Structure 1
C-alpha cells in the first residue's frame, strides 16, 4: 500500500514538473516594463493610429499653458489652406499688444507699432519662441477679435473629438495676466484646460492634417528683426557653442512640438519624434522644473521606441476563411472574390503573438444583401464593407476613440459586367424547371 502511495506521489511530481516546463515554453513575450513618469499627467501615443502606449491621469483636465498655441497653429494653417489669409498677409498691432510684447516675462519678441507684420513672421514667433502677442495678433486677424477666435477654438476642439477642453484665450496665459484685454465673454480667473489625452489628440490632428507644422517646430533658432531667438524646446539640436545647456538635452529624431509653462500648469511639453518610420507623440503636464519635463519626455519616448514595434497583422488582399466570395446577381459571373484593400499595420509590444488578434467582416447593407449577394454591374475595387480587427488582451485604446478596434475596407477583387437579357431569361427558365423538379422529387420521396 505504501509502495503504491509512493508511486502516485512520484507520478504526480513528474506530471507537475513536466507541466511547468510546458507552461514555461508557452509563456508569451514579456510585457513592456512599467515606467514611472514624474509629472501630474502624461500620455504616449502612436502618431499614425492614435494608439495609446502609456498613460498617467491622462483623462484629468488641467491647465496646459502655451501648449494651447497648437490649436491656434491649427486654425492659422486651416485659414491659409482655405485661402482666407496667406503667409504674406500683413497686419499691425495695437498699443496693448505692443506693451505686452515688450514684456520679457511673456516671451515677447518686441513688436513695433505702425509696422506691417506678415502672417509668416507672426507664426514663426509664436510657434518657435512662444510669443504671446503675436499669437493674439493672429487670432484677431483671423476672426476679427480674440473673443470670436476663442469660440472657433472650442468649436474646432469639438470637431476634432477632444474629450476634455475649455479654451478661454489663444495664447494659454492665465486670463488674469490679460486683465481687461482678455477675450470677451471669458472669466478673469480662467485658464485653458485640457486633459493630456485631449492635448495628444490635438497634436495628433495637427500633424495629420498639417504635417508642415513640423517644418517650423523643428527650427532650434531663428532671427527676428536682427535678434536671434532660441526655441524653448531644449530637445532639438541646438548649437552647443550658443546653447550648451539646451544641447545636452538633444533627442535624435525629435522635431516638435510645443512647450508651456504657467504657475498653475507647471512645466509642460508636447513632444514628437520619428525613428525607423515610427512617429510617437508624448505629453507631459505638471512637471516640477524645466529640465524635468524634457527628462520625462525622454523616458516616455525611449519606452515607446524600445518596447513597441509596428507589425503587419494582416496583409493586403487578406481573406477570411469561409468568407472569400459573394454571390453575384445579374452578372456574367455568379461569384466574386472579396479581400482587404490595404494591409493592417499596428504598433504593439515587441514579441506579441499575432493569434491574439481577431478579424471579422462587416458587410455594407446598402451594397450587399442579407443573402450576401451583390448586383452587377460593378467595378474592381468596389467597396462592400470593412474588416474589423480586435485585440484579445490588455489594451489602453486609442485617443481617436477607436477603442481596441481597427477597420480596413473590403473590396471586390474583380469587376463583373451585367449579363444580357437572354442569359437572364434562360437562368430564369432553368430556375423554374429546377424548382418543379425539386417539388416532384420531394413529393415522390413522400410516397415511400
Structure 2
C-alpha cells in the first residue's frame, strides 16, 4: 500500500541547501539517470560557458560517426587556420604540424582530455566543411534538444578575439558562447544518455598525444577531480571544464557512487575572497557531489499494481461488467531526499472517461506521476515529470445482444423517469 503523509523534514533539508555556501554565479545538480533536478542556483541566467562548449562538438561528432558521415580513422589535413590556433600555447592546445595529417580519434582525444582548441576546430571542419557551417549545426542541434538561452559563435568556447581574426563569419570579433546552467546540464545529460561512451575518454587522467613520435605531447586532463589528480574525487569520471576571462572558472562534472550518478554544473566559481581559481570550481563541484550523494537516494515511491485512490476503476460501456479495475503497471522510482520520500503523492491523468467493451487486460487508460505535497520541487531537466502507464488489470467482454437490448430499455426508462421527476420537481 502506498501511503502519503506529511513529515517534519523540511527545516533540515533547507539547512542542507543553505550550508552549501557556493561562491558561483550559477549552479545546478541533477540525477543523470532521470534528469531530476536536485539543486539549482540562478540556473536560468545565460552566462559564458567557455570550453564546456566542446560537449556540443562532442555530441555532433558522435552523431556524425553514428550516421557514417565520418570515421574514427579518417584523416584530417591541417590548414592555415587550425595550424595557427594550435600553435598558440597561451590557449589549451596540442601543436599541429603545418603539413600534418591526424586521425579524427586522436583529435577527439586531444579535445576531450586536454581541451585542445586547434583539434576541436579540425573536427568541426571535418564534419561541416567550415567552422561557420558547424556553428549553424550547433545552434540547430541546441534548438532540437530544447535548450534555452543559448548562443554558439564558435566550436571551441574561446572568445572570438582569440581566433586571430579568423572567427566564423556572421559572428562578432569579441563574441563568446553563452548558455544557462540548466541548458548546460541538459546538454551533458543528453550527451551521456545518447553517447555514454564519451566517459571512456573523459575519465582518462593523463595520456600522451602521438606517443612514440617526435610530436609526442603529454596531456593532463583539466578535470582535476579524476583519480590520481590534485582534487581527486571518488567516482568522478567526467565531463568538461571551461575557463575564459568572460566565463570565469566553470565546470560540468559527473560522478557515480553506489549505483547513482549525478551531473553538476558550476559557473564562474570563486573562492571566499571573490577570486576565480581552478580550486574554486572543484570545491564547488565537490560540495554539490557530497550534497547529492549524502542527501539523496533512489526510492520506489509507487509499487507496481498500485490502485490510485478514487480511481480504482473505469466505466465500461456495452460490457458484461459496468466497470474495469485499473492500476499502475510499473513501479515509480525517483531520486529524492531520504527525509522527503513520504511527501510525494500520485496524480492520475486519464486518457478517457470510459471504455467500450471488449476491453483487454493491460489496456493503457492513462498516466500517473508524482507531485510533492510541500516544499520546493525543482522538477526535471526536460520539464517532464517521470510517469508510468495506468492499465486495466482484467478483461471485460462485450455483453450479448439480448443483454445490450435490456440495458438499452433500462436506460430509456431510467432517463424517462429522471426527466419526469425533474419536470415535476420544477413545478414546485
Shorter-normalised TM range: 0.7 to 0.9
- Quick one: distance in 1 between partners of 2:324 and 2:414? 27
Q: Is the 1:200–1:399 contact (alpha carbons within 8 Å) kept by the matching residues of 2?
A: no
Deviates more, 1:229-238 or 1:166-175: 229-238
Measured at CA, do residues 363 and 27 of structure 1 come closer, stay the same or move farther in structure 2, by a change above 3 Å? closer
Residue 330 to residue 221, structure 1, CA distance change in 2 (3 Å): farther
Answer whether contact 1:328 1:334 (CA < 8 A) is retained.
yes
Bigger radius of gyration among the two: 1
Shift of 1:320: 0.6
CA change 1:436–1:191 in 2 (3 A) is: closer
1:430 aligned partner: 406
The reply on whether 1:249 has 2:231 as its aligned counterpart is yes
Cα distance in 2, alignment partners of residues 415 and 104 from structure 1? 71
Displacement after TM superposition at 1:341 (Å): 2.7
Secondary structure of residue in 1 paired with 2:231: coil
Structure 1 gaps of 5+ residues are 1-24, 239-245
- Structure 1 residue 219: deviation in Å? 1.0
Matched, 1:409 2:389: yes
Q: Is 2:299–2:341's contact at 8 Å kept on the other side of the alignment?
A: no
1:207-243 C-alpha deviation (Å, 9 max, x unpaired): 12211111111111122112331111111013xxxxx
- Label 1:443 to 1:266 Cα distance change in 2 as closer, same or farther (>3 A): closer
Counterpart in the other structure of 1:307: 295
Segment of structure 1 superposing worse, 393-402 or 203-212:
393-402
Q: Equivalents in 1 of 2:113, 2:173: separation in Å?
A: 27
CA distance in 2, matches of 1:256, 1:149: 24
Whether the 8 Å CA contact 1:54–1:396 is kept in 2: the answer is no
User: Structure 2 CA distance, aligned partners of 1:173 and 1:353?
Assistant: 43
Shift of 1:128: 0.8
- The answer to whether the 8 Å contact 2:329/2:389 transfers is yes
Asked whether 1:92 is paired with 2:77, we answer yes
1:331 and 1:138, CA in 2 relative to 1: closer, same or farther beyond 3 A?
A: farther
Aligned to 1:321: 309
Task: Please give the per-residue CA displacement for 1:156-190, whole angstroms capped at 9, x wherever unaligned.
Answer: 11121222111100100000111331112111110
The within-5 A match list for 1:385-396 is 385-396=366-377
> What per-residue deviation string (whole Å, max 9, x for no partner) do you get for residues 327-354 of structure 1?
4445676643322232222222221251
Aligned residues: 403
> Are the structure 2 counterparts of residues 280 and 441 from structure 1 closer, same or farther at C-alpha, using a change threshold of 3 Å?
closer
- Name the counterpart of 2:273: none
CA distance in 2, matches of 1:205, 1:64: 17
User: Aligned equivalents of 1:337 and 1:77: distance in 2?
Assistant: 46
Q: Contact conserved, 1:201 with 1:399, CA < 8 A, in 2?
A: no
Structure 2, unaligned runs of 5 or more: 1-5, 270-275
349, 357, 366: which one aligns with 1:362: 349
Question: 1:44, 1:319 → 2: CA distance?
Answer: 33
- Is contact 2:46–2:179 with CA below 8 Å preserved after alignment? yes
Moved more, 258-267 or 380-389: 380-389
- 1:74 Cα deviation from its structure 2 partner: 0.9
Residues 442/65 of structure 1: CA separation in 2 closer, same or farther (3 Å cut): closer
Give the match for residue 250 of structure 2: 268
**Tell me, what secondary structure is at the counterpart of 1:351?**
helix
2:339 paired residue number: 351
Task: Return closer, same or farther for 1:434/1:335 CA change in 2, 3 Å cut-off.
Answer: same
Between the aligned partners of 1:199 and 1:180, the Cα distance in structure 2 is: 28
TM-score by length of 1: 0.83
| Match 1:235 to one of 221, 225, 235 | 225
Give yes or no for contact 1:161–1:400 (8 Å, CA) kept in 2: no
Question: Per the alignment, do residues 186 and 212 of structure 1 end up closer, same or farther by CA in structure 2, a change over 3 Å counting?
Answer: same
CA separation of 1:338 and 1:99: change in aligned 2, threshold 3 A: same
Give me the whole-angstrom Cα distance separating, in 1, the residues matched to 2:7 and 2:38.
Answer: 25
TM-score calculated relative to the size of structure 2: 0.86
Query: 2:186–2:382: 8 Å Cα contact kept in structure 1?
Result: no
The structure 1 residue matched to 2:128, chosen from 126, 137, 143, is: 143
